[in-house]
Structures are given as structure tokens and as C-alpha cells.
Structure 1
Amino acid sequence: MISTDTANQSTQAPAAHSLDGRRFRFVGAIGGAADHGDFVTLAERDGRTQLGQIDQLEAAEDGSVRGEGTILGLISDGAIDITGTVPFDVATMVEADAATIELVYDGTGATLSVGTVLGEASVAARLIPHRFNRHTFWCGQSGSGKTYALGVLIEQLLINTSLPMVIFDPNADFVRLGELSQHGLAPGAAAEAGLLGHRDIRVLRPDEESPTPLRVRFTELSMPSKAAVLRLDPLADRAEYNELLHLEETIGSQGPELIIPQLMKSENPAARALAARIENLRLIEWEVWALQREAVTDVIEQRPDATVLDLGGFAHPDEYLVVALAVLDDLWAKRESRRPILIVIDEAHNLCSPEHGGPLFVAVRERLTQIAAEGRKYGLWLLLSTQRPSKIASGILSQCDNVAVMRMSSPADLAELATRFGYAPSSMLARSTGFRQGEAFFAGGFVPAPTLATMRTRLTKEGGADVRVPLRDAESAR
């Protein structure tokens, strides 16, 4: 941070100027360290003071620095006026103290306390809940704390909003979202823990013994989705596709064990071919079919506060795609009802990658692309989390107006982020290469100003914690 030695301020503090009242430039010598993202005050001789943030910085060998930044607002009467910024000829630039940085978040509706401002542990880093009516991208490499931090955000949304969520959870990281951690049981967390305890959190799992199994009704899938499950092309497989169109008319809604025998009895070669296809794909054996039980779409229609879909336990590798397709199709089909919901997809590259070419992958990706492009006005909002931005289809990534970045070492990924998210200063993005576990950068509409933060501790248990390396005790190691 920038030196605040007031005794030498006139000689050490850089001088700044602004031509347009929006950006400022500075040059001077300082005794301490400065970095991208630092908040600074810009004080003129007549007493007027504005708040700025450094986003470009160069240091010379003689200890002087020069750089640029953004003017965030005019400091007046203990508040920041973001509309009252003005140009100035010269101002003294010094580090903003904690009370001044706090003004950045006050009065903006930022109530989601996700951690503390990096370097200012006394200042809470807060996000703006109503700005989750835009798509959000959340990323960080393996070991950065990305999924743990996403859990912090989900908890804060549950505590502070009534926005329903459906969480696609491939690694069972959120299946214990309804269970308090040791931190959540501590006296200091009682108020937030009490609010979480009143939330309707449902966890649907593939396990047959689960009281809330994760299931889908084939008959409720759209025709294109049914075709994707069966790997049918309407032109290349036109006879079988046509038979599928009339399947319910010919055999009704019988159980799956009767479908193949009924089709095999048909005199229509297309029906027998469809039966062979179903048998060869072993679809009848898939655990995902609801039959007479409650389907996942029935649960989500009730709009619990959070519906966690444990996608990782199916025996067949395509079953989780059927779940995703059923949920996304159903939400899209009912979009005109305009019932808002946040669609949280952890490890989003499993569903959004441009590299996957199978019919189910393509169907899921195309539906997500449609929701990304058009779903916002219907209250269908995405929160996509992944380790690799380059593994997300560009048509989806480009629609995100909020971004959170944890440690990222790949130059290609950082370049992709800088290109896609022009509102995120590239110099602050670059700091992510040196992040420690749990440190993050936020930019976009859901934060009052680009923010570097240290994430707080979760209130609920993490379901998919890393497996530890077993160690020998001192005696057995000899």
C-alpha cells in the first residue's frame, strides 16, 4: 500500500491530475509500495477530495512511480457522490484509510459480505445482490479455493435474498449445504446461521435409497431432447424419428420394461429398429428415469431456496446430461412465467465446452447458449464456475456481466479473461497469478468498484473436500 507518512507527504506523495473528472494520472516519489487496485484519496489545495483507484502503475529505478487510475467519486459529508466527480489540475495522492474505503460499499446496496478487502482486514468486501440479475462467471485454477469460495457466495445469497437457486453439483461439493460447519456453530455466527436454518434446501441424489432421488421423466422431455438421448437425427434416421414422434400414441405411457417388447411386436420395421436402438443403448437400465416418482422438474417448480443436484453418482456417463437437459428445457419452456431463478453450474466446462460433440452435449450447450443470450429478461440467470475460461463456449462466456477470478497461472486464460471482460482492469487480473488460496478479484455490475478480496470462512460444511495424503507416525516411519 502507499505510504501515509504525513510528515513527508509533500515530498513523497505523488501529484495527480485529471482532465475529464473520470480518469487521473499521477507521478511522484513514494516511500512505501503501491499496487494495482489500491484505493487512494486525491486531495486538492482548496480541500476538495475525491476517491480513486489505481489500475495502471510503473515504477522507476529512482523510486518514483507513474500511473493512472479511475475516479470513483467525490467525498462529501461522509459519503461518496459517484456523479459529482470533477477534473483538477493538481491533487496530492495518498493511501485511502479503512473508513474511506468503507464508503465505496456504503449506500450501494452491497450486502453480501463475502470476505475482506485485500490488505484492509477491517473492511468487508461486499457484493450487490440485485445485480445477480445478470450472468456471472466464476473461475480459478485447481487449488485456488474456487469451489469453497462459491459456497461462501451461495450462503450469502441464501441469507440475504429470496432468490431461488438450482445448483448443478458434479463433485458433491454442495450436498451438505444444509449442515453447519464448526465455524457456523460458533457463537459469533449465530445470527447468520439462524437465517440459514430457516431456508428450504433440498439435495437430490442419484442413490436409489435417497429420500429425494434425482430423476427425470422421459415422456416430459421435448422431442429434440428425446432424440438427443436416443442419438436420432430427424433426417438421417427419419423412420425411427417418426416412430418416436408417435411412440406415446402407439404404446401409451407403459413402464419401460414393456416398451421394447411392444415395439418388437410391431409390423413396422422402424418400430423394431427403434426397439433395437433403445436396447443397444441400454436406456431401460438407466437409473435416471422417474417412472412414478417425483421428477427433478417437479421439485424445482416448487422453488425451494436451493435445489442441489448431485450429478456425480450415476452409473452411466450420459445420465447427468439428461438431468441437465431436462432442467434447462423445463425452465426455458416456462420462461414466460418470469419466475426468477439463479442457475449455478459448478465445473461448467462439463456442460458448456465447445469441444464436446455428442448429441446430448450439443443439446445442453445450445440450450445454455440460448439462456445466456435471451434468458436474462425472463429471470433465468447463470452463475458459471470453472477452472478454465477457454473451455467455455464463447457465446456463453461473452454474455457474463459479472466476473470473479481466483488464482490463475495460465497466460492464455488470463488473456481470454481480459479480452472477454473489458470492464475488468487487466492489471488487476494479472495480480491473480500471485493470489494465495482464498484470494479473489471481483469486477462488473455486482461490485461497487473492482475489488481484491480475501474470502471469508464458510458457515456450512463442504461436501467434496480434498483427500489428505496419509502420513506415518514417527514410530512406524523408522
Structure 2
Amino acid sequence: MQVVGVTTQQEVYVASKDRKFRINEILVIKDDPLGNPRGEVVETLSYNRFIPMGLDRSVVDSQVLQSLEQIGYDIGSDEVNLAKLRLFAEAPHPVQTGSEVRPPRFDEVRHLLVKTTPEEGMVLGEIRGTDSLQDGLDEDLRDKVHLMEAGDIRPQAGVPFLFDIQSMQQYPHMGIFGGSGSGKSFGLRVILEELMKLSIPTLVFDPHFEMSFGEGMTELAPYAPSFDNRWIAVQVGREVGISFSDLSTRDVVSLVGAAGGGVSESMVNVVQSLHRRKDSYTSFSDRLDNVAQAIEEGVQGLKKRLREDDLTPTEAEQIKELMELHHQFGSLPLASVKGVQWRLNRLEKAGLFQRDIRSIERGMEQGKLVVVQGPSWILQVFSTYVIGSLYRKRREYKDARMNGEEGTFFPPFITVTDEAHNFAPKGLDSPPKSILKEIAQEGRKYGAFLILATQRPTLLDETITAQLNTKFVFRTVRGTDIATLREETDLTPEEGKRLPYLSSGDTFISSALFGRTVFVRIRAAYTHSPHVANPFDELRAVRAEREDRVLRVIEARLPLFDTDLVNACDEINRECGLDWDVERLRAELESWAERGKLAKKESPFVNRYDRITTAVKG
């Protein structure tokens, strides 16, 4: 292998007659004055006598062809393997043309590929193009991952990719981008498994109810760690909620805005006027209702009611209280008061005010992964409160320590969400956007970090995207998203062209720690989502199971005549928990007869359905 053509301080071309180059493999250039620089193959082509040279200009040009001829290549008949090699570090001057090129030993490139140990870092996958380094791997890096290829599990065949979690202090926050079916959610699951292994407190918002870690992959059972007691799942409105009495007036304003897509200045004024410190939901809601009633009836209406003869003392006292409320708050717009009422009622009906977040706080303090589940709109409202609450606890502790005070310890933590563009959309307001932006910009100082996954990076808030120092880029097809990722990462034009064609589970990892993009195959996850079953397999299985149940009920009634269908239908619905009518049963009988499960005998008066064996004997 030799360097050919015009060279620069960043890129060179390498040619070989008998060795094909692999994309992303690492090679060493024998150039002593430059200290034998190392580079990565970013593009490769093979030419032979059946392909006229020069038709494809993506790698070669006339200078490269001329250089090949000068060093003895027969362009017309030899197979010529060419690679564009991008140097890891810019050279002080161009590489010497004609320099020999060789594969590296692992010890020569370990510092480029491995930044931590498997015990202290997250073992996420295998670096593509490092197969040739497998035999020289240090013992601590062998057999660390298993990978899924074409539906089969295979052992590690290259250098494992280890992410140094400690580096998030310097390079905070992580983004995971990829289209549907690209392996994005799969990669997120692997990251969460590694966080559990390291006992790092993690808060996950799961709008799809898929982040469950109780079902293991059977094939990986001998290698998988136990995640028992390392994670908990809670559902908003059931196990967790918001303790209304703990809310400040500012928090109530935020919740009112979150519940209805924004809040007007007059609504803010309503909350600020009516909310009292330590209010329960009932006391605040009753005050809202009474003020709304007082404004709606007006002073004249209340006085008229007060003059009625049949008033009880209690009713009279209530009317006087309404008049006092009107005197205090009668200037508030009725529409705004009712708007606040409607929003709070919506949240209360969703169960948001029936619990608190103590189970989340306890899980975080124990170093667990806490999965918060619920509908997307509820999670957006709830996340605003819970992220802000936990971040304040962490910030207050760190500020106290900075001032030489003891403070109540709250651990550093990571906040994770899928569909991040719904939580922090570009150009639009959303309930949690403000707190996520604050953590993105300042969280590093306090030990609060973000991992945000989305299919549409273009729709994610630009301020937040710019703060994601590590980006996992899976298969992406949409041109606008590719352009956004090119702007936000160091993906080369060649890597950008490959994005629409990546295999599921392959990802470019753009990391400030590595200073370059690393191409990685994400390892097989130890657990799988409860939604992993193919929906069409599920459809066939449910149909077959239901059909078997119904046929067992019908079996006892055979032969079955048209005149028996009403009674048979009632029994089937009772025994099988169905809601069929006679027409549905008749249609199913016809289908079973066509498929040979039942025999049908027609007559001018009535149809008869019977066992196949009975029909044959007849």
C-alpha cells in the first residue's frame, strides 16, 4: 500500500494492487518526519480493466492516475484499489507521496479508540472497521459485547466502543437522532442499560410505554447483568403526581399554561390574585368557583338574592361572602377566571393532583433509573414540575456547598426523553422547554445532564441542539434533517451521503471527547421492549386463539342449523366474552366451511354445519 497523488495536511490517497480497503479502517503512514501519522478510510473504490478509469471522479483525478502510472500500475489491466484517508490529526506539512502504508498494531491506536475502561465507562457497541485489531486487543477489552447481525447474535469482532461518562462534566449532554426503524430507540435502551449498570440516577420520560427492562433477551441471558432493583416505573396519576400544596404561585401559573397551550396575562393575574401559599387543590378550586359565581351574578344579582324571604342563615352568610369576593376580585375578567378553572379541572381529572413525587426522589437518591409513563401531554406538564423540582434540589445543595454550608445532598442526575422535539420544539413554546434550556446551558455546573432523542432534529430547539456535545446519528433520510446534522456535527460530506443507507443499529457518534466522528455498531440490548412483537404476528395469533375458543363452544352443539344460530350466538358471547350478532356468526361459519374446518350442507329450507368427518361419512 502506498500514498499516491497530491497530498495535503488532512487527507491523502492510498493505492494497493492486492488489498481491498474497508470503510472506516485505520491505517498508518510510514512518514518518519511526521511521526508516522494515522488516518481513517472515509471513501474507497476498486477499479479494474472492465471499468474505464476516470469515469468516477469521487476519489481519483488526473493527478492520482498519473501518480499510479509512475509507480508501476498498469491502469489498463491491473485492479487498482484506492482509498481516501483522513488523518486523525492535521500534519504540519503534506505527507510524502509514495510513502508506504500499513495496518496498525492495537497499541499504536488504543489512545485514539479507547478513552476509559469497561468498568468505569458505558460499553455501547463495536467500532466499525476495527476487525483487524481484534487479535491484538488487550485482555480487558475482549468479549465485552455481543451484536445483532441479520437477526443472529454474534460475538465481538473488533474494538469495543466505550463512552466515558466522566467526560460529561466537560462535554455535557447527549443527542440521539434517527428516523423510524433506524435503531434510535434501540440505542437509547442500550445507553439506559449502561446507566443502570453504573448506578447513575436517571429520570426517563416514556410517552410510548416501551422503556421496560423486565424482559430479558434469552440469547444473552448468560452475559446479561441483573437489572432487578435498579429501575422503577411509575405512571402519572397513579403512582406519582403533583402535591398542590407544595406549589408556589409561579408553579401554578406554569401548570395553568401547560394545561391549555399557553396562558394570557389576565390569567396570570387571576392566579396571582387568588392563589394563597399552602393552598390545597380543593381550597384554590373552591375560591376560583366562588369568584366566578360572584362575578357572574354581579352585585345587583347578589343583593336581590339576599332580599329573598325564604333564605336560611347559612345561605345568607354564603351570599355575603360572595359579595365580599366580588368587592375584592370583581375587576378580574370572567373569561380568564373560567379559563383557569377549565385548565385546572383538566389536570385534576387526569389524576395529576392525587399523588406526589416522593417515589421519584427516593429512586433517584438510591441511584436508580426512574421511568415516568403517561400520555404525551400529561408528561409535558408533569416534566415541567418534576425536572424543575429535582434541578432546584441539586442546585440548592451545590450552592450551599459553594457558600461553605452543609446543605441537604441530592445526587447529580440525567434527564432522558424520547420525542424530544415535542418537549422543546423550535420556534414554539412548550411547558418543559424553559427548564430544559436552562439545564442545557447551565446544568453542567450543577451535575444535571440531558439525553434527548428525536426523529426530527430540525424541529428541536436550536439552543438545546447546540449544547449537545455528543451526538448519535442513526439512519436519516430527510434532507433537512441531514443538513441540520451536518451543521451540528463534524460529519464529512462522504459520511453525510451514507446516512440514508445505514443499517439499523449502525450510528455515527460525533463526540467532542474523540474530536472526530466514530462509526459504531450498537451492541445487542440485554432487554427488549414489551412492544417488540410484530403486530401482524400478533394479529394472526389473536385470531387463531379466538377461533379455537369459538370452535370449542360450537363443537358441543354440532350439527348446527340456521335456526339454532340465535341461541348459539348467545352462548358464544357468554363463554368467549365476545359481542357477536347472528350475522357475524353466520359469516364466520361460512369462512370455516370454505377453509375446511366445518362441513356445510345446503337445502332449500335450512343450512346445516357439521364436523368434517360426519360430512364425509354421510
**Alignment TM class, shorter chain as reference:** 0.7 to 0.9
State whether structure 2 residue 338 is matched by structure 1 residue 276.
yes
Secondary structure of 1:459's partner? Answer: coil
State whether structure 2 residue 202 is matched by structure 1 residue 139.
no
Secondary structure of 1:122's partner? Answer: coil
- Conserved? CA contact 2:509–2:517, under 8 Å: yes
Could you tell me which residue of structure 2 aligns to residue 71 of structure 1?
88
Secondary structure of 1:215's partner? Answer: coil
**CA, structure 1 residues 242+472, in 2 after alignment: closer, same or farther (shift >3 Å)?**
closer
Gaps of 5+ in 1: 1-11, 74-83
**CA, structure 1 residues 68+214, in 2 after alignment: closer, same or farther (shift >3 Å)?**
same
**CA, structure 1 residues 299+387, in 2 after alignment: closer, same or farther (shift >3 Å)?**
same
**Deviation readout 1:41-64 (Å, 9 max, x if unpaired):** 223479964432234664338546
2:349 is aligned, of 286, 302, 307, to 286
Could you tell me which residue of structure 2 aligns to residue 428 of structure 1?
495
Supply the AA of the counterpart residue of 2:479.
P
1:16 CA drift (Å)? 9.0
Gaps of 5+ in 2: 45-57, 66-74, 132-156, 294-321, 399-410, 545-591, 597-618
**1:162-173, aligned counterparts within 5 Å?**
162-173=199-210
- Once residues 114 and 237 of structure 2 are traced to their aligned partners in structure 1, the CA distance between those partners, rounded to angstroms, is 46
Could you tell me which residue of structure 2 aligns to residue 3 of structure 1?
none
- Once residues 428 and 235 of structure 1 are traced to their aligned partners in structure 2, the CA distance between those partners, rounded to angstroms, is 44
State whether structure 2 residue 498 is matched by structure 1 residue 438.
no
**CA, structure 1 residues 131+235, in 2 after alignment: closer, same or farther (shift >3 Å)?**
closer
Secondary structure of 1:163's partner? Answer: coil
- Conserved? CA contact 1:117–1:124, under 8 Å: yes
- Conserved? CA contact 2:203–2:413, under 8 Å: yes
**CA, structure 1 residues 296+424, in 2 after alignment: closer, same or farther (shift >3 Å)?**
farther
**Deviation readout 1:449-471 (Å, 9 max, x if unpaired):** 53212221111232343642247
- Once residues 296 and 248 of structure 1 are traced to their aligned partners in structure 2, the CA distance between those partners, rounded to angstroms, is 27
**More displaced stretch, 121-130 vs 287-296:** 287-296
Could you tell me which residue of structure 2 aligns to residue 384 of structure 1?
452
1:425 CA drift (Å)? 3.5
- Conserved? CA contact 1:288–1:319, under 8 Å: no
- Conserved? CA contact 2:473–2:508, under 8 Å: yes
Q: Name the one with the larger helix percent.
A: 2
- Once residues 299 and 42 of structure 1 are traced to their aligned partners in structure 2, the CA distance between those partners, rounded to angstroms, is 55
2:280 is aligned, of 235, 253, 261, to 253
Could you tell me which residue of structure 1 aligns to residue 188 of structure 2?
150
**1:104-253, aligned counterparts within 5 Å?**
104-106=112-114, 108-109=116-117, 111-119=121-129, 120=131, 121-133=157-169, 134-159=172-197, 161-174=198-211, 176-184=212-220, 186-189=221-224, 193-194=225-226, 196-197=227-228, 199=230, 201-206=231-236, 208=238, 213-221=239-247, 223-231=249-257, 237-238=265-266, 240-249=267-276, 252-253=279-280
Supply the AA of the counterpart residue of 1:286.
K
Could you tell me which residue of structure 2 aligns to residue 452 of structure 1?
519
Could you tell me which residue of structure 2 aligns to residue 59 of structure 1?
59
- Conserved? CA contact 2:25–2:128, under 8 Å: no
CA RMSD of aligned residues (A): 3.9
Q: Name the one with the larger strand percent.
A: 1
1:328 is aligned, of 387, 397, 400, to 387
- Conserved? CA contact 1:403–1:444, under 8 Å: yes
Could you tell me which residue of structure 1 aligns to residue 100 of structure 2?
92
Secondary structure of 1:249's partner? Answer: coil
**CA, structure 1 residues 234+70, in 2 after alignment: closer, same or farther (shift >3 Å)?**
closer
Could you tell me which residue of structure 2 aligns to residue 7 of structure 1?
none
Could you tell me which residue of structure 2 aligns to residue 353 of structure 1?
425
**Deviation readout 1:55-85 (Å, 9 max, x if unpaired):** 4664338546463412369xxxxxxxxxx99
**More displaced stretch, 251-260 vs 448-457:** 251-260
1:365 CA drift (Å)? 1.5
Could you tell me which residue of structure 1 aligns to residue 25 of structure 2?
38
Secondary structure of 1:143's partner? Answer: coil
- Conserved? CA contact 1:424–1:443, under 8 Å: yes
- Conserved? CA contact 1:404–1:441, under 8 Å: yes
1:118 CA drift (Å)? 2.2
- Larger gyration radius, structure 1 or structure 2: 2
Secondary structure of 2:469's partner? Answer: strand
1:32 CA drift (Å)? 4.5
Between the aligned residues of both structures, percent identity stands at 19
**CA, structure 1 residues 106+320, in 2 after alignment: closer, same or farther (shift >3 Å)?**
closer
- Once residues 399 and 217 of structure 1 are traced to their aligned partners in structure 2, the CA distance between those partners, rounded to angstroms, is 32
**Deviation readout 1:97-132 (Å, 9 max, x if unpaired):** 677665643464463221222243332222222123
State whether structure 2 residue 370 is matched by structure 1 residue 307.
yes
Secondary structure of 2:88's partner? Answer: strand
Supply the AA of the counterpart residue of 1:216.
I
Supply the AA of the counterpart residue of 1:43.
K
- Once residues 206 and 43 of structure 2 are traced to their aligned partners in structure 1, the CA distance between those partners, rounded to angstroms, is 38
Tell me the TM-score normalized by structure 1. Answer: 0.77
Tell me which of the two structures has the higher relative contact order, counting C-alpha pairs closer than 8 angstroms and 6 or more residues apart: 1
